[in-house]
């Protein structure tokens, strides 16, 4: 059992859980993920470790409410627990002295780049963050990144906060400006990462994408997370989850992510009829109101 | 209770037949196919044993069960003694009695088989184990603690056996399992209809009574390294039994279409994650009117019979060689056929075909002929030109083997591997690192439950010796 120390909303459908997992916390490096099961009959899902504290033995998970499983996880509150947390899994991000690195995060992808920013900065890199969301409340971790990065550029689709437009448009501007960019690391929706790769490809800038395919075990055993990189089959759980963005077949990844869409829709419909869940979600929502709103 | 029979009279008794759930019913559900023996059946079968002075059957058993000994106890109706004899050599008899290939191990050596049918050793083993599970609940006496601590990596058949054997000798054993439930391939791979999960759970519970600790969600190589286990974590020896690892794919076009699975993923979703319980299960599995599985081993057989139970009609098995070359157990092939599985031998998939939305719609296959014998001594399949045809399906499952899992070995670069990435061990099962032993599929590549158990048992003795304790015990 992994007790949840705190649970807060980062954005309307994005929950941050700080969870007891001392062994994982002790070994966590940026880029690692965990496989989580909320309840005994639950699904195993991979979640990036957004932060860790070896001393208090906790890890931070940022969860986007997207299907029934994540909706259940988002309804959890401090004092509740997760039955299973396995990890840290995957290869850590290859943190190098690149020079100037731009981190591009979209939605909850920002939680993936957050620990990378700290490690890159510690190695002396100039670190610029470009983070996006649909509108102001959907831009997450801006304040936290602001403490680490040399510059953070929030972007919103509707212009309600920061740059009015997509992260890729802001990225293109940065690539054309000074100081020159040596590497780009991106995490977020597949279509966004694909667009990032297209922006940097012509400029020959090394670009790394953190992929999020469907996974079951997370240890290489099932092969469900296979992705095509440079024409070769790779397993995101043991070979990744980060790969050279210019070699990733994003279209295939996007297509494979849709394999269980009808199952997911049915599962959410069933969940909507579960009075117990409704009650939990209500409790989790009320807690938003009682928490001070974060300045951003 | 058994009256003494002459050998000639014993020979006249026909081999017992296992009661089975009718094929038409079982093709729609995941209940166990084999129903077990009634006690009169078991006693009668046991009386067939010739009680050879120099029994050959024991040598055929990778864990060296005293087969004539426990069988005699069954014939005499002394089931507690039968269970004691069985458990003395085999900590998981309820499992081996169900999944061991007895026909190529103990039963093939049975003298009765020369002129008649061999003794049904596997059925009797299962009978005794099931009896013990239902009727015995005395507290297991724990051995005097030795103060030695052993970490076992992986809770599959090799790891559990090693753990049990070590605990019996008084060593403190912790088993680390990467998944959320102990059992390894016994719970993620082998389907409910061949090995009910409750059997695995109860065998694991028995080991825990012996003092074995099991910690799930620990991925050795990621959560802990071998060095940490032997260092900060304070273990005196490690047994690595983390399994076969990564599934192989054939490398044909279309393998990333939606509806293509490795057998590992397909079986894990259905077994471990419970997708067989229905469409409301939290973990989904794609179902199709047509399911095609490629492969000829037990895993392929498990996958295709699983597909059938999930509603496929037809569920088709394609294999590039002929049926005689299939490595699967004869019983599984027989059961599969009864359940209506369509066998297409000498058939090799060359491409998975998709519809415009990226879903599998068919698999294109090629007919094969048999050529000269290859390195394995089997006649090698040769494509017949112009023989291509399509089989309609929505789900395509590949059961074509595995390659070594790199997670643990990458984090322990000093560990010597063979050219396939499997761990090298000496005759005791020890790796090149002192006190670090290995066994099961991470050493052998894909093998059987019982061979893995044999490795676990051997390693336990070797670890015991390594500690400077007298052998045996």
Any A CB within 8 A of B216 CB: yes
**What does the mean pLDDT of chain A come to?**
94
Residues of A in contact with B214 (CB under 8 A): none
Residue A94 lies in a domain: no
Which CATH number is B7-135 given? 1.10.1060.10
Q: Identify whether A280 is part of a domain.
A: yes
Minimum mean pLDDT among A11-20, A68-77, B267-276, B401-410: which range? B401-410
Nearest to B219 among A41, A42, A86 (CB): A86
Q: Do B284 and A84 touch (CB under 8 A)?
A: no
Phi/psi at B289 (nearest 5 deg)? -65, -40
Chain A: nearest CA to B353, how far in angstroms? 15
Q: d(Cα B47, Cα B39) in Å, to the nearest integer? A: 12
Task: Tell me if A220 is assigned to some domain.
Answer: yes
Closest alpha carbon within chain A to B286: A260
Domain of residue A142: give its range.
Answer: 100-257
Cβ contact (<8 Å) for B256 and A228?
yes
The continuous run of DSSP H or E covering B71 comes out as: helix B67-75
Structure confidence by residue, pLDDT tens digits, B204-251: 999 999 999 999 999 999 999 999 999 999 999 999 999 988 999 999
Alpha helices (H) along A7-163? 22-27, 68-74, 109-122, 142-148
**Same domain assignment for residues A191 and A243:** yes
Instruction: Answer whether residue A68 is part of any domain.
Output: yes
pLDDT of B376 > 90? The answer is: no
Q: Which of B219, B224, B288, B440 to mutate to test the interface with A (most CBs of A within 10 A)?
A: B219
Beta B172-176 vs B379-383: how paired, if at all? unpaired
Contact assignment for B268 to A220 by CB distance below 8 Å: no
B231 vs A: CB within 8 A = no
Mean pLDDT of B400-429: 93
Shared-domain flag, residues A11 and A55: yes
Q: What does the H/E/C string look like for B76-129?
A: CCCHHHHHHHHHHHCCCHHHHHHHCCHHHCCHHHCCHHHHCCCCCHHHHHHHHH
CATH number at residue A44: 2.40.30.10
To the nearest whole Å, the CA of B219 is away from the closest chain A CA by: 6
The answer on A235 and A129 residing in a single domain is yes
Cα–Cα dist B41/B50, whole Å: 17
> Regarding the domain delimited by B247-402, which CATH topology (the fold level of the hierarchy) does it fall under?
FAD/NAD(P)-binding domain (3.50.50)
In a domain, A60, yes or no: yes
**What DSSP string describes B244-271?**
--EEP----TTTTSBTEEEHHHHHHHHT
Same domain, yes or no: A121 and A180: yes
CA distance A55 to chain B (A): 16
* b/e sequence A6-42, b meaning 16+ C-beta within 10 Å: ebbbbbebbbbbbbbbbbbbebbbbbbbbbbbbeeeb
Q: Are residues A29 and A133 in the same domain?
A: no
CA distance A97 to A213: 29
Check for a shared fold between B7-135 and B247-402: no
* A271/A246 same-domain check: no
Q: Are A89 and B180 inside 8 Å of each other by CB?
A: no
Q: A75 with A220, same domain?
A: no
Query: What fold does the segment set B149-244+404-471 form as a domain?
Result: FAD/NAD(P)-binding domain (3.50.50)
Indicate whether A290 pLDDT > 60. no
Instruction: Please check whether residues A71 and A106 belong to one and the same domain.
Output: no
Domain identity same for A82 and A140: no
Per-residue pLDDT of A166-217, as tens digits, reads: 999 999 999 999 999 999 999 999 999 999 999 999 999 999 999 999 999 9
What is the reported pLDDT for A287?
67
Give me the number of domains chain A comprises.
Answer: 2
- Is A296 among the domain residues? no
Contact A86 B268 (CB under 8 A): no
Distance from CA of A32 to the nearest CA of B (A): 10
Q: What CATH number is associated with residue A227?
A: 3.40.50.80
Residue partners of A127: CB distance under 8 A and separation at least 6: A100, A101, A103, A117, A120, A121, A148, A149, A150
In chain B, whose CA is at the least distance from the CA of A234?
B246
Instruction: Mark whether A244 and A185 lie in a shared domain.
Output: yes
Contacts of B268 in chain A (CB under 8 A): 216-217, 221-222
Give the pLDDT mean for B323-344: 93
Residue ranges covered by each domain of chain B: 7-135, 149-244+404-471, 247-402
- How far is the C-alpha of B320 from the C-alpha of B330, rounded, in Å? 18
Burial A211-234 (b: 16+ CB within 10 A, else e): bbbbbbbbbbbbbbbbbbbeeeeb
Which chain A residue has the Cα nearest residue B398? A223
| Alpha carbons B50 and B5: distance in angstroms, whole number | 10
């Amino acid at each position: 059992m992994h007790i949840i120390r705190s649970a807060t909303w980062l954005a309307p459908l994005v929950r941050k859980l700080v969870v007891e997992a001392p062994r994982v916390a002790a070994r966590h490096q940026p880029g690692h993920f965990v496989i989580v099961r909320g309840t005994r009959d639950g699904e195993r899902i991979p979640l990036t470790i957004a932060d860790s504290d070896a001393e208090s033995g906790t890890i931070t998970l940022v969860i986007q409410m997207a299907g029934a499983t994540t909706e259940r996880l988002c309804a959890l509150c401090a004092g509740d627990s997760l039955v299973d947390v396995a990890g840290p899994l995957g290869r850590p991000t290859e943190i190098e002295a690149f020079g100037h690195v731009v981190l591009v995060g979209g939605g909850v992808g920002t939680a993936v780049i957050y620990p990378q920013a700290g490690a890159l900065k510690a190695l002396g890199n100039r670190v610029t963050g470009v983070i996006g969301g649909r509108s102001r409340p959907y831009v997450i971790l801006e304040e936290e990144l602001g403490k680490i990065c040399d510059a953070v550029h929030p972007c919103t689709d509707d212009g309600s906060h920061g740059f009015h437009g997509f992260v890729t448009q802001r990225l293109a501007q940065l690539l054309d400006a000074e100081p020159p960019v040596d590497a780009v690391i991106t995490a977020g929706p597949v279509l966004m990462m694909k667009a990032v790769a297209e922006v940097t490809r012509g400029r020959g800038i090394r670009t790394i994408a953190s992929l999020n395919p469907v996974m079951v075990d997370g240890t290489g055993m099932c092969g469900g997370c296979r992705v095509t990189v440079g024409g070769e089959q790779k397993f995101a759980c043991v070979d990744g989850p980060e790969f050279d963005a210019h070699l990733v077949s994003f279209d295939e990844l996007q297509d494979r992510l849709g394999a269980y869409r009808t199952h997911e829709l049915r599962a959410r419909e069933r969940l909507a009829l579960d009075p117990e869940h409704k009650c939990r979600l209500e409790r989790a929502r009320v807690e938003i109101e009682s928490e001070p709103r974060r300045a951003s | 209770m058994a009256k003494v029979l002459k050998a000639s009279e014993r020979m006249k008794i026909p081999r017992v037949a296992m009661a089975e759930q009718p094929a038409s019913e079982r093709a729609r559900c995941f209940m166990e196919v084999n129903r077990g023996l009634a006690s009169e059946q078991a006693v009668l079968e046991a009386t067939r044993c010739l009680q050879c002075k120099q029994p050959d059957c024991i040598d055929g058993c990778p864990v060296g069960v005293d087969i004539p000994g426990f069988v005699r106890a069954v014939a005499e109706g002394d089931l507690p003694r039968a269970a004691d004899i069985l458990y003395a050599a085999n900590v998981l008899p309820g499992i081996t009695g169900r999944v061991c290939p007895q026909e190529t191990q103990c039963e093939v050596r049975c003298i009765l088989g020369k002129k008649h049918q061999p003794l049904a050793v596997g059925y009797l083993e299962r009978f005794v184990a099931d009896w013990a599970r239902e009727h015995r609940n005395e507290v297991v006496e724990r051995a005097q603690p030795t103060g030695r601590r052993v970490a076992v990596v992986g809770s599959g058949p090799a790891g559990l056996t090693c753990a049990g054997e070590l605990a019996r000798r008084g060593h403190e054993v912790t088993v680390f399992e990467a998944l959320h439930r102990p059992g390894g391939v016994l719970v993620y791979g082998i389907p409910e209809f061949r090995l009910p999960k409750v059997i695995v759970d109860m065998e694991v519970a028995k080991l825990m009574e012996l003092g074995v600790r099991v910690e799930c969600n620990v991925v050795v190589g990621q959560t802990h390294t071998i060095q940490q286990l032997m260092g900060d974590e304070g273990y005196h020896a490690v047994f690595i039994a983390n399994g076969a690892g990564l599934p192989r794919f054939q490398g044909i076009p279309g393998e990333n279409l939606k509806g293509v699975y490795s057998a590992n993923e397909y079986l894990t979703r259905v077994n471990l994650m419970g997708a067989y319980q229905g469409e409301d299960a939290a973990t989904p599995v794609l179902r199709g009117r047509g399911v095609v599985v490629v492969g000829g081993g037990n895993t392929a057989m498990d996958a295709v019979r699983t597909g059938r139970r999930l509603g496929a009609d037809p569920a088709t098995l394609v294999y590039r060689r002929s049926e005689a070359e299939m490595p699967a157990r004869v019983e599984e092939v027989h059961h599969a056929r009864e359940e209506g599985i369509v066998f297409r031998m000498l058939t090799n998939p060359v491409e998975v075909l998709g519809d415009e939305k990226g879903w599998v719609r068919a698999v294109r296959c090629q007919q094969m002929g048999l050529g000269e014998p290859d390195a394995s001594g089997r006649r090698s399949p040769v494509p017949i030109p112009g023989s291509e045809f399509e089989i309609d399906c929505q789900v395509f499952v590949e059961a074509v083997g595995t390659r070594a899992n790199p997670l643990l070995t990458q984090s322990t670069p000093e560990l010597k591997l063979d050219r396939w990435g499997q761990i090298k061990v000496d005759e005791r099962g020890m790796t090149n690192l002192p006190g670090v032993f290995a066994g099961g599929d991470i050493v052998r590549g894909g093998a059987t439950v019982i061979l893995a158990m044999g490795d676990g048992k051997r390693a336990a003795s070797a670890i015991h010796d390594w500690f400077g304790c007298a052998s045996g015990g």
